[in-house]
Structure 1
Amino acid sequence: MNTRENIETRRSIKHYDPEHVMPQEDLAELIRLTKLAPSSFNMQNYRLLVIRDKELRQKIRAAAWDQAQVTDASVLFIMCADLNAHEADPAQYWGHAPQEVQDILGPMIKPFYEGKEQLIRDEANRSTALAGMTLMLAARELGYDSCPMIGFDPQAVSELVNLPEGMMLGFMIPVGKQSQGAWDRGARLSDETVVHYDTF
């Protein structure tokens, strides 16, 4: 499947085969591809929480308006972000790069974000969104379907997964084998509404 087909055929699927078990090699490849998503300063501040425990998923489903895809999909991903990633040793992001690159980028990261709570949260949202879209397109390439979800109680889910201090919970993505197709795709807004050139 080429990129265009992947984008055109990706749909938000609500119904999954609850008997399907994702092979470990598929899960590993899905994670590998997701980690190729771009992030500011290469901080990779997104975190992938992989939920496979059936009892826990049942509790998460109760906190998600009893939506069946939470338990029926092969794997449930919860997209999170480390709000303190900018404070880490920049060598873990750029230690492989030439020294001149390390000398430029490394010292820039912390002061760029330090004390800017809104920017940090904005960056967390951007990174989880980029990683989430990468995950969904990768899943489609591997023969799976997915569904981005914000329909859940974030406080309840945070407690269920023991979300650490300094970590932000973004959204959930069930991934599995569909048992029922999606509704017809919703209408796309016109170019006149969506697209602007140079200025508004």
Structure 2
Amino acid sequence: MDVFEAIEKRRSVKNFDPNHTIPRQQIDKILSAAILSPTSYNIQNWRFITITNKDLQSKIRQASWNQAQVTDASVVVILCADLVAWKKNPARYWKNAPQEVRDYLVPAIIKSYEGQDQFQRDEAIRSCGMAAQTIMLAAKAMDYDSCPMIGFDPKQVAKLINLPDDHMIAMMITIGKALKPAAPRGGQLPLDEVVVIDHF
């Protein structure tokens, strides 16, 4: 399946086969694609918590307003971000770059993020958003379906996964085998309503 076909066929599916299991190797293949997603300064601040334990999925379902896709999906991926990834040995993000590149970028990372709490959160959401789309397209290319979710109590879910204090949850994605197709698209706006050429 090429990328344009995956984009076209990716839909938010909520009815999954609860008996289907995705092998760990295939979950890792999806996440191996996700870590190629871009992040500012290559800080790779996303963290992917994969939930396949049915007891834990049940608890997360209760924190997700009892949405069935949380327990019926083969895996729940909770996309989190380390808000202070920028200061955790930032030289490692450019370890393969020439020395002059490292000498420039590593101090620039610290200068950009230090003391900028809102910017750290903005970057977390941007990074996780780009990774989320990669995850959903990779899943679709492997003939799985997915559903991005923000319908949950982040504080409750954070407790269930022992989220560190310096991390935040951006969203969840459920992945599995669809029991039935998604409903028809609700109605995409035409390009001339959403594309602005040069300026408003």
Same fold (TM over 0.5): yes
Q: Which residue of 1 aligns with 2:121?
A: 121
The CA distance in 1 between the partners of 2:120 and 2:197, in whole Å, is 29
Amino acid at match of 2:84: N
CA shift for structure 1 position 175:
0.5
The CA distance in 2 between the partners of 1:192 and 1:33, in whole Å, is 32
Q: Which residue of 2 aligns with 1:65?
A: 65
Q: Which residue of 2 aligns with 1:164?
A: 164
| Greater than 2 Å deviation, 4+ residue runs | 190-193
Q: Which residue of 1 aligns with 2:99?
A: 99
The CA distance in 2 between the partners of 1:45 and 1:191, in whole Å, is 33
Query: Which ranges in structure 2 are unaligned for 5 or more consecutive residues?
Result: none
The CA distance in 2 between the partners of 1:91 and 1:109, in whole Å, is 9
What SS class does the counterpart of residue 149 from structure 2 fall into? coil
Q: Which residue of 2 aligns with 1:79?
A: 79
What SS class does the counterpart of residue 178 from structure 1 fall into? coil
Amino acid at match of 1:182: A
The CA distance in 2 between the partners of 1:199 and 1:30, in whole Å, is 37
Q: What is the TM-score normalised by the length of structure 2? A: 0.97
Q: Which residue of 2 aligns with 1:178?
A: 178
- Cα-Cα RMSD: 0.9
Amino acid at match of 1:71: T
Q: Which residue of 2 aligns with 1:108?
A: 108
CA shift for structure 1 position 91:
1.9
Q: Which residue of 2 aligns with 1:193?
A: 193
Question: Where does 1:140-155 land on structure 2 (aligned, <5 Å)?
Answer: 140-155=140-155
Question: How many positions carry a matched residue from both structures?
Answer: 200
1:19-42: CA deviations, max 9, x gaps?
111112111111111111110011
The CA distance in 1 between the partners of 2:135 and 2:190, in whole Å, is 27
CA shift for structure 1 position 177:
0.6
1:92-149: CA deviations, max 9, x gaps?
1001111111111111001111111111110000000011110000111111110000
What SS class does the counterpart of residue 15 from structure 1 fall into? coil
Q: Which residue of 1 aligns with 2:131?
A: 131
* 1:25 correspondence with 2:25: yes
